[in-house]
Structure 1
Amino acid sequence: MKVALIGTGYIAGRHAAALTGLGAEVVGHVGRSGVEQAAARWGGRAYRDTAALLAEEDVDAAWICVPPGAHGEVELALIEHGVPFYVEKPIGTGLDVPRRVEAVLRDGGPLACVGYYWRGMEVIPELRRMLAETPPHLVRAAWHGLVPPVPWWRLEAESGGQVVEQATHLFDLARFLLGEAEVVHAVTRRPSLASHPDLDVAAVSAATLAFGSGPLGVFTATCVLHATVDAGIEFHCEGRKLTLTTKVLRREDAEGSHEIPIGRDPLVVADERFLAAVRDGDPGQVVCDYADALRTQELCCRVRDLAG
């Protein structure tokens, strides 16, 4: 399968490695910088814009790995050319662009997937089984880390803020497992950080959610630390606590503590499933379709905007 990568940052490199490992042929890269280096490493030709790529290459599928504020034109160009695409989360900084893209996709657009790859963890079926066995009463999720090195992340107009850009994985997984939620309360703090004087995103966020299926949820995020020390979600059930991180699914109950590795890299799983969906013409194989991702975007934006 012939694929293209739009964007040349860290996440584009992870997808390039995954795709070549899965046997896809990378025929083109689009980017403002580092595009020649990406082409030299992964194969294909370098382009400065999506229009030039589409004019020159026969592309079966594209991966969109651009900053949140750069979404919109790329998706619409691919839709116009009928090219299926996998777009990294978040799908925008707000709601206007994602809602416009979703409306065009709904009107006969190509297959589109969003990179909520936590859903692709191989332990998710086991987690679902345990949650069905002992339904949760309280959900606690945290994304506690540092300010990423890319300049756009520090500006809310370009990144959407930490809840929209990073903690969105946790909100999405909670939706995926528990259903829709109401935002009961949300608050943020914007302290001055000496190490990042230009930071204008909220450095601390907390929100309380009420899920229609019953549980209450407490979600917190901060970027004041030296590294990512917490990135996970806990489910507090009767007599049992279940914790999912990027490494393991942990069960704690009267019998002790037991850990199950998450399995293969879920980003690779998500790429594999999208390639199969494109090959088979089967949207049901993707980890998350665009319409479902829009609902996660709406939830994260409600949290951010309610907090102010």
Structure 2
Amino acid sequence: MTLQIGIIGTGWFSKVHADILTRMEGVRVASVCGTTLEKAEAMASVYDATGYDKLEHMLDGVRLDAIYICVPPMSHGPIEEELIKRRIPFFVEKPLSNEMDIPLRIMEQVQQSSLLTSVGYHFRYQDAAQVMKQAMQEQNVGMALGRWMGGMPGVSWWRRQEGSGGQFVEQTTHIVDLLRFCAGEVTEVYAMAAQRSMHEKHEHVTVADVANVTLKLESGAIASIANTCLLPDGEGGAGLQFYTDTGVWDWTPERLLLPSAASHSMAGLEVPAGHDPYVRENEAFIHALRTGDRSLILSDYADACRTQEITTAAQASVESGLPVQLKFSRRLAR
């Protein structure tokens, strides 16, 4: 039986997922929902799908086996609640929202319904990330340093705090999630952020363009994650380094460098990122749809809520000037 998939959103990530899905045997992108009918029909025409400008019309118009939600942070909530009500499994791109209240409400409903979900933290699906996760279980991690450095995206909603939630919530969440994936849960967050230049160069910028966040892990290790969006195009980069008693494990989206003293077959060498993680996360979700086996999904909605709590706690710390204790994440981890 061919799986019928709907996509909400017409941006870049919607097309990434649609392209992958159309290459899968027995999977069809059947419908696309956008903010305007023109946008929806333009994207839908590429995949021989039907375009809609209202979610209810799409859900009433065709039987769908699952939905991909690829919308800006401030647009979450009503979409997920409608899908839960209709018991339609969904894959949602990060972040879950621009704040924490909506994800908590959605998570409770997901858990009550046992609905199949997956969240787009794609770095987890890299070969390099898998090697690093396994290695960190055997290392005495002292500290970690993470970064997400680049320029400011051009879309207007990203530049508004109430739209994106800020860079740490919208982009750097990937580094926070990888830290959790490899080294365990975070218990405390303290953050500082500032507007240095982008609010003077562009109109309606309310997000900070530099930030540094200190995190305490349940293991006792500490981490520092910095981000900026004030760099010229093409400059910067992302990464995560773990400092251990065997040396530095240095990850970037392209590879993992292992320290020479590591007790690992690849010690002193480079592990490439490996197979396309976007393909792998889609394969895991589609496999779960077909079989009911969720074991290949590396981030479901409840797990992603823990990452969301950390990123929104960082903003709360910026606003209060005080450290924030994380109780929710620790409760979920048990």
Cα contact 1:79–1:109 (8 A) shared by 2:
no
**SS in structure 2 opposite 1:225?**
coil
Say what the alpha-carbon RMSD is for the aligned residues: 1.6
Listed one character per residue, the Cα deviations across residues 242-301 of structure 1 (whole Å, up to 9, x for unaligned) are 122111111233698421111112111111101101111123321211111111111111
Cα contact 2:5–2:28 (8 A) shared by 1:
yes
1:100 corresponds to: 105
CA distance in 1 between counterparts of 2:54 and 2:169 reads: 26
2:326 corresponds to: none
2:294 corresponds to: 283
1:222 corresponds to: 228
Q: Shift in Å at residue 59 of structure 1?
A: 0.5
Out of 23, 26, 36, the residue aligned to residue 21 of structure 1 is 23
1:242 corresponds to: 249
CA distance in 2 between counterparts of 1:133 and 1:290 reads: 27
- The answer to which of 137-146 and 283-292 deviates more is 283-292
The one-letter amino acid paired with 1:9 is G
Out of 297, 314, 317, the residue aligned to residue 306 of structure 1 is 317
Q: Shift in Å at residue 198 of structure 1?
A: 2.0
Q: Shift in Å at residue 40 of structure 1?
A: 1.2
2:281 corresponds to: 270
**SS in structure 2 opposite 1:146?**
coil
CA distance in 1 between counterparts of 2:211 and 2:31 reads: 39
Aligned pairs for 1:4-83 within 5 A:
4-23=6-25, 24-33=27-36, 34-83=39-88
TM-score in terms of structure 2 length: 0.88
Q: 5+ unaligned residues in a row in structure 1: which ranges?
A: none
CA distance in 2 between counterparts of 1:65 and 1:184 reads: 28
Q: 5+ unaligned residues in a row in structure 2: which ranges?
A: 320-334
The one-letter amino acid paired with 2:236 is V
CA distance in 2 between counterparts of 1:232 and 1:262 reads: 13
Number of aligned residue pairs: give it.
308
Aligned pairs for 1:183-222 within 5 A:
183-193=188-198, 194-222=200-228
Q: Shift in Å at residue 228 of structure 1?
A: 5.3
Q: Shift in Å at residue 109 of structure 1?
A: 4.4
TM-score in terms of structure 1 length: 0.95
Q: Shift in Å at residue 108 of structure 1?
A: 1.4
Cα contact 2:189–2:314 (8 A) shared by 1:
no
